[in-house]
């Protein structure tokens, strides 16, 4: 099959029928192969025969990250070890890692889903793709790698760790596509710019994900590198990268919903919300063999639409992520997402989109300091008009967040660059 010439074009009715068929099979499968689900269903008084189609999904219990941790490492696996051919794990900053296992079939489905995403990003077999997500237990590297191989592209498995080598090879090999986190791509663009290499690259497309980023940041990256940048989403519990991706219209991410059934629920009541409303994304893996999950709560906040996209694809689309419910900071009673700071700073010409938020509590009052890096074009020993710039950013941030923040302008390239998922927050309130 030639991947860059196919589109997923099932009608909604056909898709619902397929999802129903797969859900019925899945429920029977987990009931008989995963004691955790059997017990959960028994506690709710449900047997597999009660689930007759996708409309019955709300009868089923939710699964959380804690359930994976409580069953660490292999307790939720549905197949014996002899059939599991790969393990990945997400590190997690707290608690035990969550471990996932793939059968050979799971790896095939994964490669196919990533191949679909790459196709959406305009990448095909004539492309040279640098994969600059980390290889290893993190799903980014090997996930993107197998999708790029599936479409027949020439894959350069860079991983992370050496930006100079990456940019040199980008030029020498004539790489036409790159897969990495958006914050890393922003850093790569700086390395290219500082090395005077921007006009030597042949890059045309990037497929970025693994962390929240704003539409403005996407456009900023496109402008800096003269490419199209696409948003790819996924999580290790469900599969890895390739669960969803945006097409050339960038109006939401198309979900591979024949394999991963999406729901959006209110994270407090756990009731489904209406189409177009913001809520927590929940996934049921419709075809996974190794570690099938039912109604897995991702904690990612988004909305969904099932309207046909301008590109012709009929698959459900989720909106760009606002962040995770557990990334949300409550500062002086106001809900704040780091992505709001990113969006606000992109409008300020004199600074870069690199920032660090430091939250502390002084005399029982929350304090927010935002360190912002001045753009090298505007940097002098004593940045000219620093007070004026400070005031300007203070104002922009207050407008965006609804609270005041202390702004600290720092020198170009002084904030730490990340090669994987960027860290934008230090919450000292949690450290005491």
- Residues lying near ligand DLL in the complex (CB under 6 A) are found at 90, 133, 138-140, 209-212, 231-236, 240-241, 298, 300, 321, 324
The answer to whether 350 and 375 are in contact (CB under 8 A) is: yes
Separation CA 318–CA 181 (nearest Å): 19
Bridge pairing between strands 205-209 and 228-235: parallel
Separation CA 177–CA 131 (nearest Å): 9
Q: Tell me how far, at minimum, the Cβ of 91 lies from ligand DLL, in Å.
A: 8
H/E run at residue 85: none
The answer to whether 76 and 68 are in contact (CB under 8 A) is: yes
Q: Tell me how far, at minimum, the Cβ of 2 lies from ligand DLL, in Å.
A: 24
> Which residue's CB atom is positioned nearest to ligand DLL?
209
The answer to whether 255 and 140 are in contact (CB under 8 A) is: no
Nearest to 115 by CA among 102, 133, 129: 129
Q: Give the nearer residue to ligand DLL in terms of CB position, either 16 or 319.
A: 319
Separation CA 299–CA 280 (nearest Å): 6
Q: Tell me how far, at minimum, the Cβ of 181 lies from ligand DLL, in Å.
A: 7
Q: Give the nearer residue to ligand DLL in terms of CB position, either 306 or 324.
A: 324
Q: Tell me how far, at minimum, the Cβ of 298 lies from ligand DLL, in Å.
A: 5
Q: Tell me how far, at minimum, the Cβ of 179 lies from ligand DLL, in Å.
A: 7
Q: Tell me how far, at minimum, the Cβ of 15 lies from ligand DLL, in Å.
A: 23
Nearest to 54 by CA among 17, 79, 107, 108: 17
Which residues 6+ apart lie within 8 Å of 390 measured at CB? 407, 409
Q: Give the nearer residue to ligand DLL in terms of CB position, either 298 or 314.
A: 298
Q: Give the nearer residue to ligand DLL in terms of CB position, either 33 or 64.
A: 64
Separation CA 307–CA 45 (nearest Å): 36
H/E run at residue 24: helix 12-33
Separation CA 432–CA 406 (nearest Å): 21
Q: Give the nearer residue to ligand DLL in terms of CB position, either 230 or 354.
A: 230
Q: Give the nearer residue to ligand DLL in terms of CB position, either 33 or 325.
A: 325
Separation CA 131–CA 141 (nearest Å): 6
Q: Give helix 215-225 / helix 182-194 axis angle, nearest 10°.
A: 30
Q: Tell me how far, at minimum, the Cβ of 115 lies from ligand DLL, in Å.
A: 14
3-state class (DSSP) for residue 300:
strand
Q: Tell me how far, at minimum, the Cβ of 315 lies from ligand DLL, in Å.
A: 16
Q: Give the nearer residue to ligand DLL in terms of CB position, either 63 or 236.
A: 236
Q: Tell me how far, at minimum, the Cβ of 110 lies from ligand DLL, in Å.
A: 11
Q: Give the nearer residue to ligand DLL in terms of CB position, either 122 or 374.
A: 122
Q: Give the nearer residue to ligand DLL in terms of CB position, either 136 or 276.
A: 136
Separation CA 57–CA 62 (nearest Å): 10
């Amino acid at each position: 099959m030639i991947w860059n010439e196919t589109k997923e074009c099932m009608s909604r009715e056909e898709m619902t029928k397929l999802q129903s068929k797969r859900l019925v099979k899945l429920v029977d499968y987990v009931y008989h192969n995963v004691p955790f689900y059997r017990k959960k269903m028994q506690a709710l008084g449900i047997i597999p025969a009660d689930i007759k189609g996708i409309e019955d999904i709300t009868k089923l219990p939710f699964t959380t990250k804690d359930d994976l941790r409580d069953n660490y490492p292999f307790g939720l696996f549905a197949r014996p070890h002899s059939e599991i051919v790969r393990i990945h794990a997400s590190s997690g900053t707290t608690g035990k890692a969550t471990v996932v296992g793939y059968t050979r079939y799971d790896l095939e489905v994964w490669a196919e889903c990533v191949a679909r995403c790459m196709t959406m990003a305009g990448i095909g077999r004539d492309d040279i793709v640098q994969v600059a997500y980390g290889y290893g237990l993190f799903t980014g590297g090997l996930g993107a790698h197998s999708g790029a191989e599936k479409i027949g592209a020439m894959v350069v498995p860079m991983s992370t760790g050496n930006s100079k080598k990456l940019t040199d090879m980008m030029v020498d090999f004539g790489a036409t596509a790159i897969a990495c986190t958006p914050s890393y791509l922003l850093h790569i663009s700086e390395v290219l710019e500082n090395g005077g290499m921007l006009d030597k690259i042949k890059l045309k497309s990037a497929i970025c994900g693994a962390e929240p980023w704003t539409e403005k940041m996407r456009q900023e990256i496109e402008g800096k590198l003269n490419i199209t940048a696409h948003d790819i989403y996924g999580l290790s519990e469900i599969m890895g990268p390739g669960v969803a991706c945006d097409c050339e219209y960038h109006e939401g991410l198309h979900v591979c919903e024949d394999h991963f059934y999406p729901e959006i629920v209110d994270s407090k009541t756990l009731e489904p919300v209406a189409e177009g409303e913001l809520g927590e994304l929940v996934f049921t893996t419709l075809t996974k063999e190794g570690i099938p999950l039912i109604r897995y709560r991702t904690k990612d906040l988004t909305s969904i639409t099932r309207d046909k996209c301008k590109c012709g694809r009929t698959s459900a689309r989720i909106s760009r992520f606002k962040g995770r419910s557990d990334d949300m900071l409550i500062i002086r009673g106001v809900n704040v997402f780091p992505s709001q700071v990113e969006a606000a700073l992109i409008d300020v010409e004199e600074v870069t989109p690199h920032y660090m938020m430091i939250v502390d509590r002084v005399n029982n009052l929350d304090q927010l300091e935002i360190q912002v890096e001045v753009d090298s074009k505007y940097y002098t020993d004593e940045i000219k008009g620093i007070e004026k710039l400070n005031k300007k950013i203070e104002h922009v941030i207050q407008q965006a967040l609804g609270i005041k923040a202390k702004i600290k302008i720092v020198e170009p390239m002084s904030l730490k660059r990340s090669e994987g998922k960027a860290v934008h927050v230090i919450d000292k309130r949690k450290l005491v």
